[in-house]
Amino acid sequence: MSEQGAVVVIGGTRSIGREIVRYFAGRGDLVVMTGRDAVAAREVAAGTPGRVSSAVLDLAKPKGIASALKGVGPVRAIILSAIERDQNTIADYDIDRALSLATLKLVGYTEVVHTLMGRLTPDASIVMFGGLAKERPYPGSLTVSTVNAGVLGLVRSLVVELKPVRVNSLHPGLVEDSPYWEERQAALDVARSKTPIGRLARMDDIVDACAFLVDNRAVNGVELFIDGGISCV
C-alpha cells in the first residue's frame, strides 16, 4: 500500500482502465479515476472496493482538464488509458473525428500531465497507453495508429523534461476480453493464429504490465509491447 500519493487513472470507467482501477484499489492504493459522465464515473468509483474517488473530464476538451483535477492531491502514478476510436481511413476521412482523437490522446494526455506535474511525488511514474496499431495498422486504424505512434514522442520528451519522474508507454496487441475486441471475434481468430504464444493478451496481462511500469524503480522511457510476440513475426 502506498500512502505517498494517489494513482490517477484517466479513462477508468470500463474495459482496461476499469481493471486497472480495480487492481490498484484492491491492493490498497488511493485511486482517482475519471470518466466523461459524472454519474457513471461516480457509480464505478462507488462500486469498486477500496479508496476510490472520481473526477469528470473530457480529454478532447483539454482546456477543462486543470479545473477538473483541482481537487487531486499528491500523485504517485498517472495512468493514461482513455481512447475513443474513430474508425478513420484515408479514403473516407472524417476530420472532426480525427481532430477529436488526436486531441484526446496527444493534447489531452499532455495536459493531464501538465496539470498534475507539480503534485507528482519524487518516485512518481507515468504510464501512457499506445497500442500495436502503431506497428500493425488495421482497416479503420488510421488515426489510432497515428496517435499511438505519437505517444512515443510524448513519452521520450517527458522522460527528459520531468526527470526523475519515470515515463513509459504500454502497447497492447488485441486484448481478447476487452469489450471493443470481444465483439470482433473474426479479427481475434486471425490475430491469435499469428501470435507466437498461441493466445492473445487478456486484460489481466495488461494490468500486470501496467503495475510493473508503475512500481519498478528503474524502468524508464520504454515501449512495452504486451502482444504475445506478434510484433516479431
Ligand X SMILES: NC(=O)c1ccc[n+]([C@@H]2O[C@H](COP(=O)([O-])OP(=O)(O)OC[C@H]3O[C@@H](n4cnc5c(N)ncnc54)[C@H](OP(=O)(O)O)[C@@H]3O)[C@@H](O)[C@H]2O)c1
Interface residues with ligand X (CB under 6 A)?
Answer: 11-17, 35-37, 40, 57-60, 81-84, 104, 129, 131-132, 172, 174-175, 178-181
Nearer to ligand X, 56 or 121 (CB): 56
Nearer to ligand X, 52 or 59 (CB): 59
What is the rounded distance in angstroms from the CA atom of residue 42 to the CA atom of residue 31? 13
CA dihedral 156, 159, 160, 163 (to 10 degrees): 180
What's the min distance (Å) between Cβ of 164 and ligand X? Answer: 25
Nearer to ligand X, 30 or 210 (CB): 210
Using Cβ positions, the residue closest to ligand X within the complex turns out to be 131
Continuous segment of H or E residues that includes residue 161? helix 142-161
- Measured N-to-C along each axis, helices 95-102 and 142-161 cross at an angle, to the nearest 10 degrees, of 20
DSSP letters for 114-157: HHHGGGEEEEEEEEEE--GGGTS--TT-HHHHHHHHHHHHHHHH
Nearer to ligand X, 121 or 136 (CB): 136
What's the min distance (Å) between Cβ of 40 and ligand X? Answer: 5
What's the min distance (Å) between Cβ of 216 and ligand X? Answer: 20
What's the min distance (Å) between Cβ of 3 and ligand X? Answer: 27
What is the rounded distance in angstroms from the CA atom of residue 151 to the CA atom of residue 213? 16
Nearer to ligand X, 16 or 165 (CB): 16
Nearer to ligand X, 5 or 12 (CB): 12
What secondary structure letter does DSSP report for 175? Answer: B
The residues, any chain, with a CB within 8 Å of residue 180's CB and separated by 6 or more, are 15, 85
What is the rounded distance in angstroms from the CA atom of residue 101 to the CA atom of residue 28? 33
What's the min distance (Å) between Cβ of 185 and ligand X? Answer: 13
What's the min distance (Å) between Cβ of 73 and ligand X? Answer: 21
